[in-house]
Structure formats: C-alpha cells, structure tokens
Structure 1
C-alpha cells in the first residue's frame, strides 16, 4: 500500500476521534501497520488492537480516562485526561514516512435502543420528571447523553462494590464527552454520615463542580439518600439523576425526593426534599442482588399494597426463584401508587405520610439493632407492629394475620430476632420526625388499599402491641 494512502487513512480516523465518534470500527481493509499504530498509542482503547473489532469509545475531544487517584480526604475520583494525542505522536511520526493509504469512511455501529418497558411521570409539586424502566438502559450511551445534557462534569456517587458490578454504566457516562468524577463512598449505612458528606464536598470543590453540572446516584437506598442530600445542598442545588441498583431503591428511595443522613441519635434526622431530574430504572440490576436484598425491597412493595393498591399483594413473587422480569409489573404499580400520594404533598404533611406505614417502629428497630437488620426487614417488623396497633385501637380483626401472611410469602421476618427491647424502640420513636405533639404518630391500614393516621394514646397500648407480636419468643 502506498505511503500517501496510509496517511489519508490515519488522518480520517484521527478526525473521527476528535469529533468524539462512538462505536468506531477500523476498516476491514486496514493494513497491519495501521493496526500497529493503534497498539503503539498507550491512550487508545485496548480493543482497537485488531481490525474489525468493536472499539471502546473516546470522549468528545478524543481524550482518555486518567488512572483513578485518591484525594487527601479519602474520596476516590477519576477524571478525563488530555494526553492521548501527545502519546500518539511518536507512533504517527514513525509510520507516516513509510506507509500512506486511501481510507474509506469508517462505519459507525449504532446501538440498538429497545423501547422502555414502562414510564411513570412523577409530579411532585412544581417538579415533574420521568421514572423510566427499561432493561439494559444503564449501559447505553444514548441514555446517558440525554441525561447529562450540557453538563461539563458528572459526579457519580457510588460505593466500590456497586462500581465493580456496573462498569458499563460508568463507561457509558464517560463516553458522553463530559468529565466524569467518581466519588466512592463506604458501603451501606456507614456512608450516611456528616463526615462522608464533608469529604464529598471537598472532592466537588477540588473538581470545581458547578450547579449546572450533574450528580448521579448509582446504587441503593443509602446512595440515593446521600447523593440527593449532597446535590440539594451543594451551592444551594445541583442537578441530580438517580440510577437505583436495588429493588428497595427502585420502588422507594429513588422516588419522591426525600434525602437524608444519619446522626448518632437516629436515622435520617438530617435531610431535605429535593427532586431528581429523572430516574433511570433498569430491571437487569436485580440479577446482581442476593435473595436477602430482594426480600428487603419487597417490604416496600408490600407496603404500597396495603396502603394504596391491593392488586400488588396478588403479584408477590418468590424471591428465591423469580426472574427479574417478574418484578417489572410490581415496580411499575408500586411507583404509580407512590406517585399518586406525593403529587400534592411533597413535604410529607398530608397523604404522603401514608408512605410511612411500618416506618415509625421500623426505623427505630433498625437503629436499635445497630443496622444489623436490612431496612426492608425492619419495615416488615414495623408493619406487623402497626397491624397489631390497628387491631387494638380500632377493634378490626385479622389485620395482623393478613400482614404476617404477605410477609411470610416472600420470606420476610415477622418477629424480632435481634436483641431490641421495647424501651429502646419507644425512646427512638420519640425522636422520630413524625412525633406530634410529643407522641409518635402511626399509619394504620384497617383493610387492604386503605390507610389512616393515628397518634399513640398511651404507652401501655404501645407495650401491649410489642409484647403480642414483636417480642422474641423464649426458647
């Protein structure tokens, strides 16, 4: 092949690289020297080393992702570098004098984007945003291009285990052309502290993160709670997108705009109401979850069945056997039920309070257990407690048995195993956000699909309900 032909071929590829083309495939007629040029360039994606293979996409300016660095504050992050072209120059100079070629236009490979399985429009006061449920969308560049918009920097808040499970999502975000900053936080409830929030603020300041840039919450309920809090308070409000990766986050934490961090005296005591721009829900994330996490998420699904849509309770799957597709309808119905309750009550003053069913006692139990219980497991126990209270306060029978039956069907606990006393639970309930005036308020569900609010009349009834259904049985 003539040298001038190779030069033209390489220049055509380099031009596409600068324009930020994604999914570029080297021409099938490219000479061996052309492939060697890519191999000699340390910033080129590894997949480019053989003709005809699908190529990892560069950023909009042909820049590479620099190795991850660790901030002094202890928060990990990475960013796009700009050394790709400089790294390629030696290889170009060596090869340009020996071979040149005439290049045909390299074809682009368009990614197939299947239609969304479901979209629920969330209206929360003056905010309106889509909850889009589509299989595989977290790994698609098109999804993230639309979400990123004109943001120059995307701060992805996630934990290390989640980042390892979803590299496709991180890669797709990087390939939008925006600078990607990854803030790795501790896994679980340990992340929801003022110390972690402070370290994240420092990382954002170091990245010169602006209000028009985008925070992405990639993870479960603790990540969406924390990332939402950070976005809502950074420069009085940055853009926010939720990408939930657990069933609990899909049906609850990512919808409605509640954010929160824990304090030594209780769970979610510091928080804000702050709506995301969109929620990107992907049912394929459920395949990565252990059965215990699926059961925990189903507690929030069951809650929606008791307070809003009883049809949900007839669709409960066996989490040890059901495939991810079985959850699609459950997720959609649960999100629709929640959307109806928060449409006119963003700040939890009226009907939205029904969504706290099982949470007054549940969050107290979760805290008293030292967070050894999953959130959904604690909420399940809270629903059993609320059901027994309903029977004692209203005289309605069968509420406790119906609740226990639904929870048993998916393998959730209905009686305490952890060493939690009534005194611990009662004291923590006094600090609940819903205390009024000086007494805990409870959501009761006398029958499926209905809910009402009640204040605890006296401590003796609270203890009687605890002894009846929660106190561990003596062996």
Structure 2
C-alpha cells in the first residue's frame, strides 16, 4: 500500500538515452525537491556498476535488485523526483506498483524520445548492457517492446524533440505544481490551474480537429500570440478572431461577425473554438461553440482572476441585450479549462482585485477556509502585482482559485442548468447585475457583486436570518480586499424593476439568495418591498 504522504512527487520513465536522469535532476532543482536515480541507488548498494552486475550476476539478479529499489522508493521518498531505468516498468512488480502509485495520485512521466534520435544516441553508447551487439537494432527492438507499457502508465508525456533539457524540466515543474479540479456531470471535464497549462491545448483539442477559432480581446494579445503559436506548432489551422473588450464583446453583432467568418473559413463539426481572455471573451466563445452547427468542441483559457474562478467554469455561455446581461445563451460545457497563472503576471491590480469578490462569495456560501485565507492575506492580495509578487503569494492565489473552483464544481456537477442548488452561486448577483446595468457596465462585475453581497446580508438581517455581526463581517472583509461595499447610483424603483428581470425571479415574485449563517445559503422568496427598501438604504449610507 502506497501512502500519498510518503511517496515521490513524480516518477520518470522512458527509453535508455532519453535523458531521464537529467530531466529528473533539473526538475528537482527547480521545485526544490530531492532526486534519486534507481540505477545509481543500485550501484551504490551493490558497490559495482550496472554493467558489472549484468556481467557477473545476470540480468534477472539486476531486475530483482531494481524491483526492490523501486518499491522501496515508491513507499518512502516523500515529495521527491525518481528516475527509473528504461526496463524497470517491464517487471511485473514494478508495473503493478506504478499503477498503485498512479491511483494514489502520483505522476508518472514518460519522457518520449524520437526513435531516430534514440538510435543515434544508442550508437554512441558503450555502457548499456542491453544494447551490446548492434546497439541501434537492439534499441529499436526494445522501443517496440516497451512503448505501449510506457504509454499505459504515463500520466504526463513529454516529447524531447526540438526542445532543450532545461525547457523540458521547466515544463515538468509547471505540470507538477498544477492543481486539477474535476467537474462531473453528463459531460465531465477538468479545470487545470497552474503556470504554463496553456501548453495542454493539444491534449484537449485532440488530433481530429483541423481548424481552431481563437477568440480573444486586444488587451490579452501577448497571451493570444502564445496560444496561437502553440496551436500552429501542434498542426492546427488557426483562425484569429479579436473581439471588443469586456461586455462590448458580448453582443449579437459580434456573434454574427464570428459566425460569418467561420462559414467563410469552412468550419465543420470536427473543428473547435478556444476562448482566451476575461469572462466576456470566454462567454462569447462558449456561445459561438454552442451555436455553430448546433455545438462544436471548445476550450476556455481564462486570463483574469474573475474568469478563472467564475465565467470560464460551469458551462454557462451567453451574450447581452440592451435590456440586460446574459439574456441569450445556453448551458454548454467545455472540453476543459486551462487557468494559466502566468497570465496573471500582466493583470492590472484593479482587475485582479475585482476577482476577489467572487472568491469571497464562495467563502460566504460554502468554504470558511477561503474566508480565513482572505482575512490573513488581505493586505498582500489587495496590493497584488503579478510582476513583483513573491512566489508564496502566487501559491496562495493558486490555492484560492482551486478552492473557489471546487465550490463551483460541487454546485454545477449536480445542477448544470441552475434549477436549484446552482442558484446559490448567485449570492450577491441580483443587485450586482442591476448595478452593472444602471452604471452602463462601467462598474466591474466583482465590485458590483461585492455591493450585492452586502445588500443580501442586510436583507438577511432584516428578515431574521443573519445577525448584525455577520453583516459587519461582510463589510469588513470585503473592504479590506479593496472591494466596494456601498453604492449611490440609481434609485430604488429603477433597481426594483431591474431585479424583477433577474433569472431567479418566479413570475412577478422576486427570489434572492441570502445566508442563514455563514456557509448556509438559502432562498428568500418574495420579501416585502419594505425590507428591500431598508436593505437598499443600508448600502447607500456610506456615500
């Protein structure tokens, strides 16, 4: 039995000469982890080289030593990077142990070398006992024998062709520090959170896709250039589509322009869409994917904190009308979400801060650990600068994104179409959407939702669900993060009319999400107008 707390962080497998030892050592240095190579471990214990063991004791004796070494290290090498000899996975005991290791959450890394390069290296090798007597032919025979086993065991595959050992180590280090949140349901998918995860686009798009529509906004040009290069390198024909930034990109006119471009380019059902940018860009990209030929594959690549924790995950797609936000759209799940933390390095502070509103919302409705983390790190988060922030803060942000996405995943996995439980994710949104409309979308979504949560907390207090201390806590935490807790725009009748258009409304009756205590969301149906007016006045007193 392999215990996850004591097992290695990653095990590197692959053909002789692929560069497993160097990859393992350099990756370990990057993530500050210990490194071991099983061949070296065996040599240290036996007091002789692998070649000498083969010559004096035979291959089976070596395989027995190798199996013991691998099994021992899989059970007791916490957080380390372990490199195996090329033939180790072919031993039944090692193969089964690696399967157990995978099931326990371990990463098996297959370092794939191009056969032509492998043969070339084999021809120059003079210390590998299994390659004696025709190294090139022996290498190819072993490759044909072992390749399927490597592929079966691998959770991560790295190709060494056209890249440097240092770049490979960087890619592996990124992969090992990424977090994955699984969203279940009829069409399950994963949300990957980490530096460099954009590099996984090919895995999600697959080999059957020929054309990819890359939908993005101008402010993220640097990141869209990177994604475009990755897509072209993988062999896709890329149709580049730049849309207006923010809510201006979510109109039927923009959608029509994209549809016409896809028709001109000959897009079929086997082609795909990639949405890259903030929430508006991923909303529009998802809407295009859902409607083109009644649905094609799409991947979201959110580049803002708000998009990572909210819009890109959950399968909501849509566009706006003059009468309100997201009135036209569908529920359509992506093939996957790639939240690349490197995109946050260029994110302006005010856009980062607004994303904290949705993070706090998830804390209020379910995860008290999020609230505690926000309290403890409020000053640093409020001053976030992606280019200068310490690495520890990046780790904090990654954890906050992961926990927030987990909250959303728990809701959407059982209620994709928002018929019940998923409505709790709209805490603060009823008033928040009204504010955005009245302010002509000049208010950022997270800031509007922050005020909406204070309004909902006041409404819960007035109707006997929350005490004053909980309301004060809302204000104190949100303001400490740089979020707004008051609003002086509009008038009550205007706000009331807009809230009646909210998607949670039932006929002429309003429905709000409030808290019956922290972490205890509930519905409040048709509250008295007097209570709504009192809560409305409470968010205007600071002006």
Given the two structures, how large is their TM-score scaled by the length of structure 2? Answer: 0.65
How far 1:429 moved relative to its partner? 0.7
- Contact 1:156/1:181, CA 8 A, preserved across alignment: yes
Counterparts of 1:267 and 1:163 in 2: how far apart (Å)? 25
Query: For residues 67-124 of structure 1, what are the alpha-carbon distances to aligned partners after superposition, in whole Å with 9 as ceiling and x for unaligned?
Result: xxxxxxxxxxxxxxxxxxxxxxxxxxxxxxxxxxxxxxx973254222242111111x
SS in structure 2 at match of 1:172? helix
Matched residues in 2 for 1:439 and 1:411: separation? 34
**3-state SS in 2 of match to 1:287:** helix
Separation in 1, partners of 2:315, 2:236: 25
CA–CA distance in structure 1, aligned partners of residues 518 and 528 of structure 2: 26
**1:126 maps onto 2:186 in alignment:** yes
Distance between the aligned counterparts of 1:263 and 1:306, measured in 2?
A: 30
Name the SS of the counterpart of 1:436 in structure 2.
coil
Deviation at 1:165, TM superposition (A): 4.4
Work out whether residues 396 and 446 of structure 1, in 8 Å CA contact, stay in contact via their aligned partners in 2.
Answer: yes
| Distance in 2 of aligned mates of 1:410 and 1:108 | 45
Could you tell me which runs of 5 or more consecutive residues in structure 1 were left unpaired when the two chains were aligned.
1-20, 25-105
Tell me if 1:313 matches 2:371: yes
CA RMSD of aligned residues (A): 1.8
Structure 2 partner of 1:265: 323
**1:320-340 residue CA offsets vs partner (Å, 9 max, x unmatched):** 145433201101101111111
C-alpha deviation, 1:166, in angstroms? 4.2
Write the distance in 2 (CA, Å) between the matches of 1:440 and 1:300: 22
> Which of 462-471 and 151-160 deviates more?
462-471
Which fold has the larger relative contact order, with Cα–Cα distance below 8 Å and residues 6 or more apart in sequence?
1
Structure 1: distance between partners of 2:162 and 2:231: 19
Q: Deviations over 1:387-426 (max 9, x none)?
A: 0000011253122211111101211010115x32222211
Q: Report SS of the residue matched to 2:202.
A: helix
Moved over 4 A (4+): none
Distance 1:162 1:395, change over 3 A: closer
Preserved CA contact (<8 Å) 1:153 1:180: yes
Number of residue pairs matched by the alignment: 365
SS in 2 for 1:276: coil
Question: Match of 1:145?
Answer: 202
Aligned residue number for residue 471 of structure 2 = 400
Structure 2 unaligned segments of length 5 or more: list them: 1-113, 118-159
1:412 has 2:483 as partner: yes
Please state whether the residue corresponding to 2:524 is helix, strand or coil. Answer: strand
Deviations 1:184-204 (A, max 9, x none): 100111111111111110011
**Is the partner of 1:272 in helix, strand or coil?**
strand
Of 92, 100, 109, the residue aligned with 2:163 is 109
SS at match of 2:419: coil
- Aligned pairs for 1:22-41 (under 5 A) are none
Q: Distance in 2 between matches of 1:472 and 1:309?
A: 29
* Preserved CA contact (<8 Å) 1:136 1:283: yes
- Conserved 8 A contact 1:301-1:312: yes
Cα distance change, pair 309–240 in 1 and its aligned pair in 2 (3 A) = same
More helix by share: 2
* Separation in structure 1 between the aligned mates of residue 434 and residue 490 of structure 2, nearest angstrom: 10
Q: Cα deviation per residue 1:129-168 (whole Å; 9 max; x = unaligned)?
A: 0111121222x3xx22212212000100101221234422
Residue 281 of structure 1 and its aligned partner are, at CA, apart by 1.1
Determine the structure 1 residue equivalent to 2:42.
none
Cα separation, 1, equivalents of 2:540 and 2:289: 38
